[in-house]
Amino acid sequence: MVKGAGELLGLLRHGRSLTRAEIVAASGLARATVTHRLDALMDHGFVAVTPGRHSTGGRPAEELGLNPARGALLVADIGSSHLRVGIADLAGDLLAVRDHDVEVADGPGDVLALVRDDMAELVEEVGVRPDAVLAAAVGVPGPVEHATGRLVSPPTMPGWDGFDVQEFLRESFNVPVVVDKDANIMALGEQRALHDLVADLLVLKIGMGIGAGIIARGEIMRGSRGAAGDLGHLPREGGARCRCGQFGCAEATAGGWAIAEHLRAHGHPHVRTSSDIVRLAREADPLTVELLQAAGRRVGEAVADAVGLLNPAMVIVGGNLAEAGAPLVDGIRQQIFARSHPLATDGLEVVTSSLGADAGLAGAAQLAADAGLSTARISAVIGANITFD
């Protein structure tokens, strides 16, 4: 049962708008109590009247929804070689985005300074009052201990081990800061874009590295130390040496870094990034297509294991390398269906990302909104104007 104003606001998030009667019914509270709390939410600008549903006859009842313009969310998606920083409204829609090439392996100092400066400039650029920023969220390419926001032994970015990203940004903006693994924010972005219709999904991030975000029953599954979904470093016997030090990881043959290394050694000396590989694939370069097909099969093997364990309703193939399309994705799909028990693949959809490069920032905005619009935060903002029971 819904209690306070924060919970009532929760009913109006995720693009929902409801009539007062629907809010009363969903909350289980008395009409007078709901009116009192909605008035407080409207006085503070969190809730506004939205255009009503189309009705064929009669006057449509007035509907209320979250007011996305009430505040802003700061978001960043730090990849191993690329950084995106953005600002979003409270519905999670991106208002402005900046892109940079970075070397995340060089350590947190320069990269996070860039994130902080970009965020501060974006607040000015879109004309948001600094005190209207309600929360921030950052995705990083390594496992994160969720409770503290600290990175845990990230295999490919040693300088970041134990670094407190949360504290670094909280000092600058004085808002709640959420830090999560890049594949997790991407998975949340994809899931919310499906309007929460799919509760169990596996989202692959295939770029220079390989990772996966697992959504189970609508929630990110992080594991005890934040290392869940690390598909790229599940080893198989007899493979090449990986950048993490193990032998036979999926990344060692299927990661963008491994494909780029191979291409550089075989007639394509200038290949550095995922986009370089995608460009060669689009030109139908035979070696690139062959490497991507092999990568698809190798990733597909690992994904088939995950599908057997988790039984998702959907596998979404995302990340920069997924833009290479068929050579990579066909192999993944084929291996999943060839290697999984029919029970696990019954009704399973394997699709490419609909959000593309925006998936990470979109998911970060959702995580930030969850933190900035949490029941506790809303109660604190609305404060003494309202009693909670």
Q: At 44, is the secondary structure helix, strand, or coil?
A: coil
DSSP 121-141: HHHHHTT--GGGEEEEEEEES
Q: How far is the CB of 315 from Zn ion (least distance, A)?
A: 21
Q: How far is the CB of 240 from Zn ion (least distance, A)?
A: 10
Q: How far is the CB of 235 from Zn ion (least distance, A)?
A: 7
In sign, the C-alpha dihedral spanning 341, 223, 110, 357 is positive
Q: Point out which span in 23-31, 128-136, 225-233, 276-284 binds Zn ion (CB under 5 A).
A: 225-233
Q: How far is the CB of 353 from Zn ion (least distance, A)?
A: 23
Say whether residue 227 binds Zn ion (CB under 5 A).
Answer: no
The residue (of 68 and 248) whose beta carbon lies closer to Zn ion is 248
The residue (of 210 and 263) whose beta carbon lies closer to Zn ion is 210
- Please list the alpha-helical segments (H only) found in the chain: 5-11, 20-27, 31-43, 108-125, 165-173, 182-193, 251-254, 256-265, 274-282, 286-310, 326-339, 342-345, 359-372, 375-382
Q: Point out which span in 125-133, 229-237, 278-286, 347-355 binds Zn ion (CB under 5 A).
A: 229-237
- 299-318 residues in contact with Zn ion (CB under 5 A) are none
Q: How far is the CB of 208 from Zn ion (least distance, A)?
A: 13
CA dist., res. 75 & res. 88, Å (int): 7
Q: In what order do the strands lie in the sheet with 47-50?
A: 17-19, 63-66, 47-50
Say whether residue 277 binds Zn ion (CB under 5 A).
Answer: no
C-alpha dihedral (186, 189, 193, 198), degrees to nearest 10: 70
Answer yes or no: are the C-beta atoms of 107 and 169 closer than 8 Å: no
Count the residues of the shown chain that bind Zn ion, applying the rule CB under 5 A: 6
Binds Zn ion by CB under 5 A, chosen from 102, 244, 326, 355: 244
Sequence-ordered list of residues with C-beta below 8 angstroms from that of 279, at least 6 positions apart, any chain: none
Q: How far is the CB of 298 from Zn ion (least distance, A)?
A: 12
Say whether residue 249 binds Zn ion (CB under 5 A).
Answer: yes
Q: Point out which span in 218-226, 233-241, 356-364, 380-388 binds Zn ion (CB under 5 A).
A: 233-241
Q: Point out which span in 16-24, 172-180, 243-251, 347-355 binds Zn ion (CB under 5 A).
A: 243-251
The residue (of 104 and 381) whose beta carbon lies closer to Zn ion is 104
- 255-274 residues in contact with Zn ion (CB under 5 A) are none
β partners of residue 139 = 77, 180
β partners of residue 137 = 75, 178
Residue 171 CB: number of other CB atoms within 10 A? 11
Say whether residue 333 binds Zn ion (CB under 5 A).
Answer: no
Say whether residue 359 binds Zn ion (CB under 5 A).
Answer: no
Q: How far is the CB of 245 from Zn ion (least distance, A)?
A: 7
The residue (of 154 and 176) whose beta carbon lies closer to Zn ion is 154
226: left (phi over 0), alpha (psi -120 to 50) or beta: left
Q: How far is the CB of 182 from Zn ion (least distance, A)?
A: 16
Structural tokens at position 75: 């978001």
Say whether residue 298 binds Zn ion (CB under 5 A).
Answer: no
The residue (of 22 and 261) whose beta carbon lies closer to Zn ion is 261
Binds Zn ion by CB under 5 A, chosen from 37, 233, 262, 298: 233
The residue (of 206 and 249) whose beta carbon lies closer to Zn ion is 249
CA dist., res. 9 & res. 41, Å (int): 8
HSE-up of residue 12 (Cα within 13 Å, Cβ side): 29
Binds Zn ion by CB under 5 A, chosen from 47, 112, 201, 242: 242
Answer yes or no: are the C-beta atoms of 209 and 170 closer than 8 Å: no
Q: How far is the CB of 295 from Zn ion (least distance, A)?
A: 14
Q: At 353, is the secondary structure helix, strand, or coil?
A: coil
What residues make contact with Zn ion under the rule CB under 5 A? 233, 242, 244, 246, 249, 251
